[in-house]
Amino acid sequence: MVLLITGAIPAGLFSSKAAAADEPLTVAQAIARNNDGLPGTVEGYVIGYFDGSKNKLQTIAPFSGGSNFGLADNPGETDLNKILSVQIPNIISVRNTFGLNSNPELLGKKVRVTNGTLTSYLLLPGIKYIDSSSTTFQLIDEAPETKVASVRANPSSGAVPVGTQVTLETPTVGATVYYKQNTDADYLPYTVPITINDAIHIETYAAKEGIDNSDVTSFDYTLVDTIPISISDARKATENTTVSVQGIVTYSELSGSVSNLYIQDNDAGIVVRGNASGIEVGDQIEAYGPITIYNGLVQVEASKSGFQGGYIRTVEKSQDLPSPVSLNSSHFVPGAGGE
């Protein structure tokens, strides 16, 4: 049996694309590619967590993080020359399943990483996440299947913004998902994400020839208010308050596997942190998520761990950037003690 998790957001928590992947590389074969920067699929055993550098390999639980794991051809490998460092993207569905801090039982288990970039990571040969529609992670379990695994939804039940797309998938490769909504009598094959425009009840199951159908699973969704407020008002909100803001991107940087977008409206600016594929400087965007504080700076964290329904989307492309404001010492008020 192959249990499959993908980095796809919002395309889905699971994906059957990996079932048709090419024969995976061993870790030794991947290392021999010498960080060529090309896509590759690698299979090996999880041997530990790198706590910030290759010289801090944790091989015994508890593990201090979930942003990576070491992969080797043999479980228990400790020779750094035979270990591939694997980047786990900052995506809730993936880290909740493959982060060693949350799943110490993965140590020694066989994993396949499909369609990642073979490149240096943590000063070791590595494989990095490409984007939300490409890279997938699989837990390989050779136990025979007797029943289809239950269908999971991404996002799961709860309050979500209007227009949220819910994807349904089962970890069982080759199974077909069926669903019905509200008071529908008949189940339909699931083929495209379900768009949430109103409160909705979904029932779903999956089937595969030769084994028992999965249990029926239910998901319920309601709508939250995502009317944008000014950035100035958002900055006054208390930490973990959920807000929606609009602004023009004046600067963008990649931090880990997500972006920091510096946006500005008519009277204030703020950092938006999240998955921002295709967004460029000059684009007007809308972001929805909780207010968080990082090193004393206020930000909207659309992809905060444990928060579902956050988003960053383009309102208008290629807008004029706000005019810069010149600052001098008179703009800064001395702190306590004259500092």
Q: CA 243, CA 235: separation in Å to the nearest integer?
A: 10
The residue ranges of every structural domain in the chain are 2-140, 152-223, 231-316
Q: Which two tokens stand for residue 130?
A: 């490409």
pLDDT of residue 113: 93
pLDDT of residue 336: 61
The class level of CATH for 152-223 reads mainly beta
Q: Check: CATH 3.40.50.10860 for 231-316?
A: no
pLDDT of residue 174: 87
| Interacting residues of 278 by C-beta distance below 8 A, sequence separation 6+ | 314
Ranges of residues in the chain whose predicted pLDDT is under 50: 1-22
Q: pLDDT tens-digit profile of 301-333?
A: 998 877 877 889 999 999 988 877 777 777 676
Pick the CATH number of 2-140 from 1.10.3720.10, 3.20.20.80, 2.40.30.210, 2.40.50.200: 2.40.50.200
pLDDT of residue 337: 59
pLDDT of residue 17: 31
pLDDT of residue 1: 45
Do 2-140 and 231-316 have matching folds?
A: yes
Longest dimension (CA), the chain: 76
Q: pLDDT tens-digit profile of 230-240?
A: 999 999 999 99
pLDDT of residue 257: 74
Q: CA 325, CA 247: separation in Å to the nearest integer?
A: 17
Strand 258-264 vs strand 284-294: parallel, antiparallel, or unpaired?
unpaired
Q: pLDDT tens-digit profile of 101-137?
A: 999 999 999 999 998 999 999 999 999 998 766 788 8
Which of these, 26, 12, 106, 25, lies nearest to 63 by C-alpha position? 106
